[in-house]
Amino acid sequence: MVSEIVWHISQKNPKKPFFIPHNHITVLREPVQRILYFAIRSILLDITMSCTIIVGGFFGDEGKGKIVAHIACKDKPVIISRGGVGPNAGHTVQVGDREYGVRMVPSGFVYKEAKLCIGSGVLVDPRVLKYEVEMLDVKGRIFVDKRCGIITEDHIVRDKGSAHLSKKIGSTGSGCGPANSDRVMRISPQAKDVPELAEYLLDVPKAIDDELKQGRTVLLEGTQGFGISLYYGTYPFVTSKDTSASQIAADNGVGPTKIDEVIVVFKAYPTRVGEGPFSTEMTSEKSDSMGIQEFGTVTHRKRRVGGWDGGMARYSAMINGCTQAAITGIDRVDKSCFGVTDYGKLTKKAKDFLKKAEDDIGSPITLISTGPEMTQIIDLREEQV
């Protein structure tokens, strides 16, 4: 095993951490090998810059907000920057008894030492941003790239007024589709053209690059999920741009050689809002009987619920370049796992599910959410190092 690790180090760019190939992942289940593997990898991370992308592996609503918030508090990044489409995506973060739903501000806002950014690829609705800045009290540490596209009232009217978007596709009505269309036509305003955004403007790619050159940690937060990517999702029932990890890097102006980790978040029981195919979907009666009832953060529409989709998970991990996976909703697999923070206290049923999921994904599962609150999580990154 040691010789294999040394070989993998020699074959990789020394600036980046390494991962054992899929056919070697099983060795990570042996305690000594796992400790050795993650210890060496931790050393590499400590002496180099660290840029992590977090994206959704299914149709969105996977619990990315919680995972981002947890990693932000644990890893203490200097910048948390959001990529993705725009305010059509809502992330939920629960801290104690208080629940926050955010559509513009990065979910890592709970870590108060981080600078919060919105990358140039993202659409900004100034009204939504202003509301969240005041609600979350993040003025002075939230910044918008000057090249962000702007959502106007006209975009929202067109979105809601289109039978194709609102009825057939199931758009959220946030104006993102028409705004991206205008952006492609080169007629959409940019953030630098809006006076009320002047105090927030920043060259986000430059700010991120400056920190990475200093060896500091940066988190890039994705939105939506792989299944509704414009390129790879269930077209035409998709969002108005790509949602994969490479797109999130591009949205923030970060080149592929600067990415160290891609954490793909999967939900034990995937959900989907709106129209479109859902191969593992179960009836509402069945999901209700299982105690699974969820509603969208933005639209408040009831989410459709399905079973684990190993094939989709594997393909999503491939396209996203997954290096680690997070699983949320393990307490839905076995209710007795609710709130557990120690892997050893998970039930056999839960561990069997995680083993299958890891085999399907082809990358190690390092984060396991056991409930909605931010601290209800098992972080194997820390445990294994």
Q: Is 138 exposed, middle or buried (CB count within 10 Å of its CB: 0-12, 13-18, 19+)? A: middle
61 is catalytic: yes
Q: What are phi and psi of 306, to 5 degrees?
A: -135, 175
Q: At what angle do helices 2-11 and 31-46 cross, to 10 degrees?
A: 30
Q: Check if the beta carbon of residue 147 is closer than 8 Å to that of residue 186.
A: no
Per this entry, what is the length of the chain? 385
Q: Check if the beta carbon of residue 111 is closer than 8 Å to that of residue 202.
A: no
* 116-128 burial: b if 16+ Cβ within 10 Å, else e: bbbbbbbbbbbeb
Q: In terms of DSSP bridges, do strands 261-267 and 324-328 run parallel, antiparallel, or are they unpaired?
A: parallel
User: What are the E-state strand segments in 98-227?
Assistant: 98-102, 115-118, 123-124, 142-145, 149-150, 201-202, 217-221
Instruction: Return the closest-CA partner of residue 246 out of 237, 257, 235, 236.
Output: 257
91 is catalytic: yes
Instruction: Return the closest-CA partner of residue 127 out of 162, 103, 145.
Output: 103
Catalytic residue among 8, 24, 46, 61: 61
Instruction: Return the closest-CA partner of residue 382 out of 107, 62, 45.
Output: 45
- Which amino acid does the sequence have at 170? G
Q: What are phi and psi of 262, to 5 degrees?
A: -125, 110
The total of other beta-carbon atoms located within 10 Å of residue 279's CB is 11
The total of other beta-carbon atoms located within 10 Å of residue 153's CB is 10
Beta bridge partner(s), residue 93: 100
Catalytic residue among 70, 75, 91, 125: 91
Torsion of CA 298, 244, 105, 76, to 10 degrees: 130
- Which amino acid does the sequence have at 137? D
Q: Check if the beta carbon of residue 24 is closer than 8 Å to that of residue 4.
A: yes
Q: At what angle do helices 310-320 and 348-361 cross, to 10 degrees?
A: 50
**Catalytic amino acids?**
61, 91
